[in-house]
Amino acid sequence: MAERSSFVVVANRLPVDEVINDDGERQWRPSPGGLVTALHPVLAEHQGTWIGWAGGDGEAPEPFELEGIRIHAVPLSNDELERYYEGQSNATIWPLYHDAVETPVYKRRWRETYRLVNQRFAEAAAEVAEEGATVWVQDYQLQLVPAMLRELRPDLRIGFFLHIPFPPIELFMQMPFRAEVLRGLLGADLVGFQQRLAAQNFVRLARHLLGLRYEGQSIQVDGRKVKAGAFPISIDTKDMERLAADPKVQARAKEIRAELGDPETIILGVDRLDYTKGIELRLKAFRELLADGKLKVGDAVMVQVATPSRERVEHYQTLRVRVEREVGRINGEFGRVGVPAVHYLHQSMPKAELAALYAAADIMMVTPLRDGMNLVAKEYVASRADRGGALVLSEFAGAATEMRQAFLCNPHDPDGVKDALLRAVGAEPADLKRRMRTMLRHLRSHDVAAWAKSFLDELSDAADLSTPDQP
């Protein structure tokens, strides 16, 4: 029998990485991430449990404790990973929720496995949650869990947060098991989204698809009230500021500038290699500015970090080929011996190296076609302190609603991207510092801890309201 907790987090992945020590023994270490940073104090205070997949396709390790958090692993077979994660989650739901930038793929066996895995997560949560506990379910891989868990444990207070966009009704209606997904989410007392418009989409969808009544952001379901709300996620601002100010990071930033030939303008992109991130369009905009003579190799250089992602999914394999072909074309046409126009890095990077890149870059380009939030934009601002720098930001990133001082652009419009980049290049230093200061002030008061607190406070209120009326 698992030890029970009054606070439980349910997410696809555990906040730990497996390491093998010198004696060949399996050990675990905390994995970095904003979510665990935000929730660690709450988990530690309540002897909370984090439920998730530990990686690998073998047996799940027995429950253990790490840094005050109880870790409860859920096993996934290789077939389940292929169908539930790579298939239904990342080839069906991910593209559909990102405005169908790539065509979603629909397969019955993927849906069946998604259902099976979600049930396994729900049963694990039911097992470890104390009477009346708070359970917070995370993201698109586990959208059926809230309703499954409520059926098993109606005494629980259940929250759900979607980290990616939620699509408009017309797109959501394409999904073959759309009603089941919607009912799954409605098992929660509070359903959180990154943006107000996403919460509105959800409320209207409940009316359109299931005929449910709503008032404001509250939906009537089986005698309960389910509340929808916007809770824009953020970063550990203080930690990012501290890291960027570290003398070693600042020294490394100077080294990076020297290694790039001390150009006037370093343009930086840092993304997972994902078709939603607009990497190709960004590269093409840069190529056209070089071709037009508005930017010149030597004066301006682009660094694009593309972190490997979902490499077994076909869409991602194709994207990598296209991005690398575009990088080769730009360097072939505009580079010189020893002076490439684009430095392309297809690799993961330590946080300190990323902070040094942020500190070195004059312009950060964050141009996703669609993004729930995009924390890279926030990390860049927190890394700059009072040093200026410019953020070129897609209007379709959730961050754009909070960071209006960025140079906003429509990533679907190459001329708009080029114009935003040129405005950032030509802006006065005083203007850039003013913009950065305003955005940093917002980030300091809206960090990831404030995000978690606002959601959990709202969940507490929503759960009290959602209790069915007594006869």
Looking at residue 417, which CATH number applies to its domain? 3.40.50.2000
Determine if the pTM surpasses 0.85: yes
Using 50, 70 and 90 to split pLDDT, how confident is the model at 444? very high
Torsion of CA 399, 403, 408, 412, to 10 degrees: 10
Q: What is the pLDDT of residues 194-223, one digit of tens each?
A: 999 999 999 999 999 999 999 999 999 999
- Which has the higher per-residue pLDDT, 317 or 79? 79
One-letter amino acid of 37: T
Give the Cα separation of 226 and 217 in Å (integer). Answer: 8
pLDDT number for residue 227:
97
Shared-domain flag, residues 223 and 116: yes
* Residue 156 covered by a domain: yes
Structurally, the chain folds into a number of domains equal to 2
Do 305 and 441 have their domain in common? yes
Residue in the structure block whose two tokens are 């943006």: 195
CA dist 195 and 370 (Å) reads: 12
Please tell me the distance from the alpha carbon of residue 407 to that of residue 387, in angstroms, as a whole number.
17
Q: What is the pLDDT of residue 471?
A: 42
Is the pLDDT reported for residue 470 higher than 50? Answer: no
Contact 76, 114 (CB under 8 A): no
- What's the pLDDT tens digit per position in 366-396? 999 999 999 999 999 999 977 889 999 999 9
Are 125 and 270 contained in the same domain? no
Determine, yes or no, domain membership for 267. Answer: yes
> Is 258 found in the same domain as 164?
no
**Does 168 fall in a domain?**
yes
My answer on whether 351 and 277 are in the same domain is yes
Kind and range of the H or E element at 40? helix 34-45
**Are 83 and 206 members of one domain?**
yes
210 and 270, same domain (yes or no): no
For the chain, helix, strand, coil in percent to 5 are 45, 20, 30
Judgement on whether residues 223 and 254 belong to the same structural domain of the protein = no
342 and 276 in a single domain? The answer is yes
334 part of a folded domain: yes
Of all helices (H) and strands (E), which one includes residue 320? helix 314-334
Instruction: Tell me, yes or no, whether 124 and 154 share the same domain.
Output: yes
Range of the domain at 286: 237-445
What are the helix (H) ranges across 351-447? 351-360, 375-384, 414-426, 429-445
Q: In the chain, pLDDT over 70 holds for what percent of residues?
A: 97
β-sheet bridge partners, residue 401: none
Assess if residue 395 is contained within a domain: yes
Two tokens, residue 301: 């250089």
- The answer to the question of residue 471 being in a domain is no
Contact between residue 281 and residue 417 where contact means Cβ atoms under 8 Å apart: yes
Q: Are residues 302 and 356 in the same domain?
A: yes
Give the separation between CA 130 and CA 65, rounded to whole angstroms: 17
Residue 190 placed within a domain: yes
Shared domain check, 311 and 165: no
